[in-house]
Amino acid sequence: MTDTVSPEAELGRPLAGLRVIDCSRVLAGPFCGSILADFGADVVRVEHPTPKDEVRVWQPARNGYSAAFLAVNHSKRSLALDLSRPQGAAILRRLLEQADVLIENFRPGTLERYGIDMAALRHDNPRLIHCAVRAFPAGCAAEGLPGYEASIQAYSGIMSVTGEHDGGPVRCGASVVDLSTGLMSVIAVLSALRDRDRTGRGQYVEPALLRTASNLLAYQIAGYHLDGSMPQRRGSGHDMLVPYRAFDCADGPLFIAAGNDRLWGLLCDVLKLRDANNAVPLPALKERLANRAAVDTMVETATRGWNRLALMEALKAIGIPSAPVNTIADYVADETLRSAGVLDAIAVPELGEITLAGRLFGGEAPPPRRRPAPRIGEHSDAILKAFGVDDREVAELKREGIVR
């Protein structure tokens, strides 16, 4: 177990030398682990010898790899270990004695059933960072209940502000709560590691899906408590800005962000919306908010007469933000996203090259050297030996079906 990263650690790999044991499933915890792997940590994914993580079989899937599993488990090694067996739980405890970070999203009480409670972890390894990813955090009414992306979106109110104004609540298309919780987990782990640098002690951190959802609703929650107004569904629009939504052009939708007064005046020039006296209609944001439907109708009547690309170029020339409403196919067809590191490609056995989301940020550091997500138990022998389990014991564990 390392105290600090060695001076010769490569740029862009600040966590080189750290050992992470990732016992999590589905999206949030595994996404955290994949980011730590991008930063250079040795991330060992501990999973049951027979698939227990449903993400391994989510569709689309091909040749035993699911798209979702590839996306959030790249660059890890796999140890297939049956924790429900006493010998398997004992092996995990031995690994954690030498690890820097544990990521898990077990139901509360599961680790205790395995004989690995908080007191045991602190006794064995007082420097361990224990990141417990929960659905509902300790202390709230729903503490300990299971939660999934859509149920947390529903419970938190995110669904209530997502969808068309005259339609019902809908789930966000992207798994924003799960994946953002993965990011929050990375922040929590890095913060705890920094604290350990100062104090020499590890700590328990508890990211939670509901905490993430609350932070994603930052200004809606504040706005409700400021004046009591209930946030509304606005489709592609915005509660506080008008015009600020997707508008139909002759050949497809274009998102236009002209919500402040200056940009609104410029948009009126491009779309020829000034009145007979050359005045900008409804020049103040407060007026436009009060007449949202009229403004949106005015703008869309004009945009329907434009080709989307031509309008984008006209708006770009005067500094009005706009963007085509792309499909995923449209988006990933942009080859510059690969050269910029926004998208990444990994060679996966039996699949060829697969495109994934790229690194989280650019800068001087080179892009991470990623490996494909592992098969179940692909690295079991090497991992156990690296943690001090001898060949004879490994062979016995395999005979007993505890390790695969």
Over residues 36-41, the mean pLDDT reads 97
Please give the pLDDT value at position 216: 97
Please give the pLDDT value at position 185: 98
Task: With a cut of 90, say whether residue 12 has pLDDT above it.
Answer: no
Over residues 145-150, the mean pLDDT reads 91
Helix (H, G, I), strand (E, B) or coil at 19: strand
Over residues 155-174, the mean pLDDT reads 95
Please give the pLDDT value at position 9: 53
Task: With a cut of 70, say whether residue 322 has pLDDT above it.
Answer: yes
**What's the Rg (C-alpha) of the chain?**
25
Return the H-helix or E-strand segment holding 323: strand 322-324
Residue 279 DSSP one-character state: P
Catalytic residues, by residue number, are 178
Could you tell me the pLDDT band of residue 267, with boundaries at 50, 70 and 90?
Answer: very high
Return the H-helix or E-strand segment holding 356: strand 352-357
- DSSP string of 55-89, one letter each residue: GGGPSSEETTEEHHHHHHSTT-EEEEB-TTSHHHH
Cβ(155)–Cβ(142) below 8 Å: yes
Counting residues of the chain whose pLDDT is more than 90, the rounded percentage is: 91
Task: With a cut of 90, say whether residue 51 has pLDDT above it.
Answer: no
Q: What is the pLDDT of residues 179-230, one digit of tens each?
A: 999 999 999 999 999 999 999 999 999 999 999 999 999 999 999 999 998 9
Domains of the chain, first to last: 19-216+342-399 (3.40.50.10540), 244-324 (3.30.1540.10)
The two three-digit tokens of residue 101, written as one number: 């970070």
pTM as predicted: 0.93
Q: What is the pLDDT of residues 69-123, one digit of tens each?
A: 999 999 999 999 999 999 999 999 999 999 999 999 999 899 999 999 999 999 9
Task: With a cut of 80, say whether residue 2 has pLDDT above it.
Answer: no
